[in-house]
Amino acid sequence: MAQVLVVTSGKGGVGKTTSTAALGAALAHDGTKVVVIDFDVGLRNLDLVMGAERRVVFDLINVINGVAKLPQALIRDKRLESLHLLPASQTRDKDALTEDGVAKVIDELREKFDWIICDSPAGIERGATLAMRYADAAIIVTNPEVSSVRDSDRIIGLLDSKTVKAERGERIDKHLLITRYSSSRVARGEMLSIDDVLEILATPLLGIIPESQEVLRASNVGSPVTLSNPLSAPARAYFDAARRLKGEQVSMSVPSENRGIFNRLFARKAA
């Protein structure tokens, strides 16, 4: 039974696309069939973060309009053959995204994939509401920072009211993914702690992704961080989160930025 996930946040720049790519690759690692869909019509970036920007021919809007068949628009990842990308269009009007069109595409994808991950655009407009519309579960990406937490609260309200599942009276599963977390700043009292954010948002925690230069490096080279450096702290945190999504019990560790001297030397050499 396919699972449709939306990766959402309200606020921009918190790591939705990074997390979509990293979790998609982590889930697909064992051959599980995964498709990641970019819903940011006009400002697509998932293709770039996945390193597939030069291979985009058709996109989501083309499929909805009937210009292309779904298999023609799907881009298979070069590193993981069970991982696919459905890009957003770069130029077309975002009104081309219709509720019926999205429903049809998602239904067709449900037949072919185990996980369908919808990368939501920022904001609460059409693209964002359609990205969450057919989701079975949601990952809310939050930075430990006031504006991000406030927007996450707003998005949680929308998930509980504007999704098909919510309208049917069912509960949509919600998972909180805290990104750009710095334990040293929390220790100094400069950053909201995990407990602070969990208490305010009252949503179960999926994972804690530490602030790390590996995330920027991964997007620079066009690879999900879980593929570019699977042993790095953020990649391990994403792998743990993916295992929790699959229902495994994985103890929640707060990743530390502290690295041993050996790791530091090794990282410098590798850079």
Partner 1 sequence: MSLFNFFRRGSAPIARERLQILLAHERNAGSHPDLLGVLREEIIAVIGRHVAIDPDRVQIKMDRGKSVSTLAVDIEIPNRDQPSGGAPRYSKLTFDAGRDVLGMRGSGI
Contact footprint for partner 1 (CB under 8 A)? 145-146, 149-150, 153-154, 157, 186, 188-193, 196, 200
| Cα dihedral: 230, 233, 238, 240 (round 10) | 100
Nearest Cα neighbor of 24 from 55, 1, 46, 54 is: 46
Tell me whether residue 187 or residue 265 sits nearer to partner 1 (CB atom): 187
CA distance 58 to 237: 33
Question: Which spans in the chain are helix H?
Answer: 16-28, 46-49, 60-65, 70-73, 99-112, 126-133, 146-162, 164-167, 183-187, 194-201, 213-221, 225-228, 233-245, 261-270
Do 238 and 226 form a contact (C-beta atoms < 8 A)?
A: yes
Closest approach, Cβ 167 to partner 1, in A, equals: 16
Q: Are 41 and 75 in contact (CB under 8 A)?
A: no
**Between residues 43 and 254, which has the closer beta carbon with respect to partner 1?**
254
CB of 149 to partner 1, least distance (A): 6
By beta-carbon proximity to partner 1, the closer residue of 143 and 232 is 143
Looking from the CA of 149 toward its CB, the CA atoms found within 13 Å total 17
Minimum Å distance from CB 147 to partner 1? 10
Of the pair 9, 232, the CB lying nearest partner 1 is at 9
Q: Which of these, 209, 172, 78, 91, lies nearest to 197 by C-alpha position?
A: 209
Q: Which is nearer to partner 1, 210 or 224 (CB)?
A: 210
Is residue 149 a contact partner of residue 200, using CB atoms and an 8 Å limit? yes
Q: Least Å distance between CB 20 and partner 1?
A: 26
Q: For residues 184 and 213, which CB has a smaller minimum distance to partner 1 in the complex?
A: 184
Least distance in Å: CB of 54 to partner 1?
42
Least spacing, CB of residue 192 vs partner 1, in Å: 5
